[in-house]
């Protein structure tokens, strides 16, 4: 069947079973939009391309499928950049489609021309500029394959305008073969045996689980492994949900704002079993004092991340699920009762807590109340800053894909569009974006997208009228010199703003009203903005100062 480029693109997306494309139109992509006009492929128009990329990302993280976004050339494409970089840092499968000027104009500084493949080379897993119409369908096939296999990531396909009019025979390839790209899934037997031996010899083992567990769908295997060998589990921010935080073996999150007991436990451990986690600096703190007594087993699908930041004693390159399945077959039931006693002691000595004595609303309390109201069954997205850390600390995650947050890049403005993506995938689920008043203003225009598409997303703004996390650093390390971090005056009336977009706005100023407001928001089948006026000098504790060893924390009421 001979088809025009724009039709080939849309048919290819259907072959990939794409559920929805998030995007924004423009001149060079008009032929695609014209095809979409009659197509049953779902398209969601956002108000900013950055939000389209984050929505695709949220959709991908919530479902495990590839998220797709589409933008025009030049400024449309460059507006995707933050969203692409966010997905890249967090290994999110995404295909970003961009329009490009006609092939004969490329390189001529034509109107709305940007070298988007050049710009995104360091922040994509791979990218393509399609120059021949016959390459279009195979390129889309390859793009999806690369995005979703191995360590997932964003792939960009740049589509010159003339190709969208050109015709070719449409044969969607069944299979692809790519030289020099063949992700390894099963770990080497020899390494697995070494790992099992190290586990049997260890007295103080700890599992340090990351987003890779969720990506590979290995949560059951992880639970089996930890339970069988009686090993406590701490997770990264992106790993939240990969191991039930209600399980006695859970140590919750570690790192800069992790639980103090997790940070002490990993420092005392003699064996770290890292699964799908990459020893990010927010986790390790001062590298040469990180877990000084521990041997390290590192299970990761990406060979280039093994021994990148720390020296690994037993590397196992492979898919987390397959490797854990193999380990479960050879690891013997362990007795770590002494070690668990020590951990129980640490948990008692350093619980995660905050002072909730006053009448004012504590942000941590809001997060706890969201947990109570949703019983851990919601999809939580976050912005970046204190809101993100409180959302990580005070909600108990027990299911994978229930916590979506920009961990690697730390992108303010991520949470709300990501919530739109997640809610689109699961219209019946309760979705909360836990936000700061600064971050929400970075993509607040998406209230229009949420309202028009009847998405009952709840935004819980922990409104401290400042850029809280930065203010916290200024308080602790810059002698309270609050340079450009306070939004007073200048904080908008979020309730009126919500109403202006047709959403529901609820302001909450009293602790006694928090639970009711959350309940009302959940019951409302419209987009709801909850403006919680919280104590503005509240800090996130514990905190490992930047560059310090992770067992040397400040705050935390130990
Ligand atoms: C796009 C972007 N710009 C700047 C920063 C740096 N930054 C990190 S946290 C933060 C403050 C966030 O303030 P707010 O959204 O109000 O959240 P809070 O910390 O008060 O919960 C800033 C400015 C960032 N992470 N992302």
Tell me, using a 6 A CB cutoff, whether residue 398 lines ligand 1: no
Matching residue, tokens 């740049």: 158
Residues 6+ positions from 377 with CB-CB distance below 8 Å: 399, 402, 429, 430
Residues 253 and 236: their CA atoms lie apart, in Å, by 5
Contacts 24+ apart (CB under 8 A), 470-475: 470/385, 472/386, 472/539, 472/540, 472/543, 475/537, 475/539
Residue 437 CA: nearest ligand 1 atom is 16
450 pocket-lining for ligand 1 (C-beta < 6 Å): no
Indicate if ligand 1 lies below 6 Å from the C-beta of 385: yes
For 390, the enclosing helix (H) or strand (E) is helix 386-394
437 in contact with ligand 1, CB cutoff 6 A: yes
Which of 82, 438, 459, 488 is the pocket-test mutation for ligand 1 (most atoms within 8 Å of CB)? Answer: 438
What's the gap in Å between 222 CA and the centre of ligand 1?
33
The mean pLDDT value of the chain amounts to: 97
With contact defined as beta carbons under 8 Å apart, do 322 and 186 qualify?
A: yes
Backbone angles phi, psi at 413, to 5 degrees: 95, 0
From 82, 437, 439, mutation site for ligand 1 pocket: most ligand atoms within 8 A of C-beta? 439
Per the CB < 8 A criterion, the answer to whether 242 and 400 are in contact is: yes
List, in sequence order, every residue forming a beta bridge with 403; answer none if it has no partner.
380
Please report, in tens digits, the pLDDT of each residue of the chain (558 residues total). 999 999 999 999 999 999 999 999 999 999 999 999 999 999 999 999 999 999 999 999 999 999 999 999 999 999 999 999 999 999 999 999 999 999 999 999 999 999 999 999 999 999 999 999 999 999 999 999 999 999 999 999 999 999 999 999 999 999 988 888 988 888 899 999 999 999 999 999 999 999 999 999 999 999 999 999 999 999 999 999 999 999 999 999 999 999 999 999 999 999 999 999 999 999 999 999 999 999 999 999 999 999 999 999 999 999 999 999 999 999 999 889 999 999 999 999 999 999 999 999 999 999 999 999 999 999 999 999 999 999 999 999 999 999 999 999 999 999 999 999 999 999 999 999 999 999 999 999 999 999 999 999 999 999 999 999 999 999 999 999 999 999 888 899 999 999 999 999 999 999 999 999 999 999 999 999 999 999 989 999 999 999 999 999 998 544
Distance CA 190, CA 167 (A): 53
Give the residue, by CA position, lying nearest to ligand 1 atom 3: 412
CA distance 216 to 228: 20
Among 84, 362, 412, say which to mutate for ligand 1: greatest number of ligand atoms within 8 Å of CB.
412
Residue 387 Cβ contacting ligand 1 at under 6 Å: yes
pLDDT at site 227: 97
Q: Which residue's alpha carbon is at the smallest distance from atom 2 of ligand 1?
A: 412
Q: What share of the chain is helix, strand, coil (3-state, %, to 5)?
A: 40, 20, 40
* 468 CA: nearest ligand 1 atom: 20
Q: Ligand 1 in contact with 409 (CB < 6 A)?
A: no
What residues contact residue 75 under an 8 Å CB cut-off, 6+ apart? 112, 114
Distance 412 CA to ligand 1 centre (A): 6
Residue 532 CA to ligand 1 center (angstroms) comes to 17
Residue 413 CA: nearest ligand 1 atom is 1
State the distance from the centre of ligand 1 to the C-alpha of 533, rounded, in angstroms: 17
Helix H or strand E segment including 302: none
Nearest CA to ligand 1 atom 17: 436
346 CA to centre of ligand 1 in angstroms: 31
From CA 135, how far away is CA 109, in angstroms rounded? 25
CA nearest neighbour of 117 among 70, 69, 163, 159: 159
pLDDT of residue 272: 98
529: left (phi over 0), alpha (psi -120 to 50) or beta: beta
3-state secondary structure (DSSP) of residue 23 = strand
Nearest CA to ligand 1 atom 13: 467
- Could you tell me if the CB of 65 is within 6 A of ligand 1? no
Residue with CA at minimum distance from ligand 1 atom 1? 412
Query: Which residue, by CA, sits nearest to atom 18 of ligand 1?
Result: 468
Distance of CA 143 to the CA centre of its chain: 21
User: Is the Cβ atom of 265 under 6 angstroms away from ligand 1?
Assistant: no
How many angstroms does the Cα of residue 466 sit away from the middle of ligand 1?
9
pTM value surpassing 0.85:
yes
Q: DSSP readout, 509-536? A: -SGGGHHHHHHHHHH-SS-EEEEEEB-T
Residue 364 near ligand 1, beta carbon < 6 Å: no
Point out the ligand 1 atom lying closest to the alpha carbon of residue 383.
15
Which ligand 1 atom is the nearest neighbour of the CA of 410? 25
Find the 218 Cα to ligand 1 centroid distance in Å.
32
CA of 470 to the centre of ligand 1 (A): 7
Q: How far is the CA of 143 from the centre of ligand 1 (A)?
A: 33
Ligand 1 touching residue 464 (CB < 6 A): yes
- Ligand 1 pocket mutation, candidates 467, 472, 473, 534, criterion most atoms within 8 A of CB: 467
Look at residue 558 in the predicted model and tell me its pLDDT. 42
Tell me which of 83, 89, 384, 540 to substitute to probe ligand 1's pocket, judged by most ligand atoms within 8 Å of the beta carbon: 384
């Amino acid at each position: 069947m001979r088809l025009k480029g724009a039709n080939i693109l849309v048919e290819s997306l259907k072959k990939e079973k794409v559920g929805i494309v998030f995007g924004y139109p423009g001149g060079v992509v008009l032929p695609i939009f014209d095809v979409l006009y009659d197509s049953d492929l779902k398209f969601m128009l956002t108000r900013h391309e950055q939000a389209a990329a984050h929505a695709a990302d949220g959709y991908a993280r919530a479902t495990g499928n590839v998220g797709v976004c589409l933008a025009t050339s030049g400024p449309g494409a460059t507006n995707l950049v933050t969203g692409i970089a966010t997905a890249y840092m967090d290994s999110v499968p995404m295909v970003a489609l961009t329009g490009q000027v006609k092939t004969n104009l490329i390189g001529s500084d034509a109107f709305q021309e940007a070298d988007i493949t050049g710009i995104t080379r360091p922040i994509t897993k791979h990218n393509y500029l399609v120059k021949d119409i016959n390459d279009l369908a195979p390129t889309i096939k390859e793009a999806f394959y690369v995005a979703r296999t191995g360590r997932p990531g964003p792939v960009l396909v740049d589509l010159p305008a003339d190709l969208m009019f050109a015709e070719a025979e449409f044969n969607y390839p069944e299979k692809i073969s790519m030289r020099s790209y063949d992700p390894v899934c099963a770990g080497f037997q020899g390494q697995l045996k070494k790992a099992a031996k190290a586990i049997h010899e260890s007295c103080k083992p700890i599992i340090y689980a990351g987003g890779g567990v969720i990506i590979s769908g290995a949560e059951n295997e992880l639970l089996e492994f930890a339970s069988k060998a009686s090993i406590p589990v701490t997770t990264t921010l992106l790993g939240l949900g990969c191991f039930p935080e209600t399980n006695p073996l859970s140590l919750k999150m570690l790192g800069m704002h992790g639980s103090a007991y997790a940070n002490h436990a990993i420092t005392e451990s003699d064996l770290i079993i890292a699964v799908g986690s990459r020893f990010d600096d927010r986790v390790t703190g001062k590298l040469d004092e990180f877990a000084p007594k521990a041997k390290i087993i590192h299970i990761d699908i990406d060979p280039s991340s093994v021994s990148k930041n720390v020296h690994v004693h037993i590397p196992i390159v492979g898919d987390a699920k397959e490797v854990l399945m193999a380990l479960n077959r050879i690891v013997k039931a362990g007795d770590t009762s002494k070690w668990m006693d020590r951990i129980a002691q640490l948990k008692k000595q350093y619980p995660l807590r905050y002072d909730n004595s006053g009448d004012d609303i504590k942000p941590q309390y809001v997060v706890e109340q969201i947990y109570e109201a949703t019983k851990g069954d919601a999809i939580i997205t976050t912005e970046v800053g204190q809101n993100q850390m409180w959302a990580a600390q005070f909600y108990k995650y027990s299911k994978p894909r229930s916590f979506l947050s920009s961990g690697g890049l730390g992108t303010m403005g991520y949470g709300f569009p990501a919530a739109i993506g997640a809610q689109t995938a699961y219209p019946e689920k309760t979705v909360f974006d836990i936000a700061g008043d600064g971050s929400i203003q970075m993509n607040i225009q998406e209230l229009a997208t949420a309202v028009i598409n009847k998405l009952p997303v709840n935004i819980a703004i922990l409104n401290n009228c400042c850029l809280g996390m930065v203010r916290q650093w200024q308080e602790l390390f810059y002698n309270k010199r609050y340079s450009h971090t306070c939004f007073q005056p200048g904080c908008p009336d979020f309730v009126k703003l919500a109403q202006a977009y047709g959403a529901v706005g609820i302001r909450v100023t009293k602790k006694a009203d928090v639970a009711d407001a959350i309940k009302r928001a959940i019951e409302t089948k419209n987009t709801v903005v909850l403006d919680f006026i919280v104590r503005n000098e509240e800090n996130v504790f514990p905190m490992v100062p930047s560059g310090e060893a992770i067992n040397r924390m400040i705050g935390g009421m130990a």
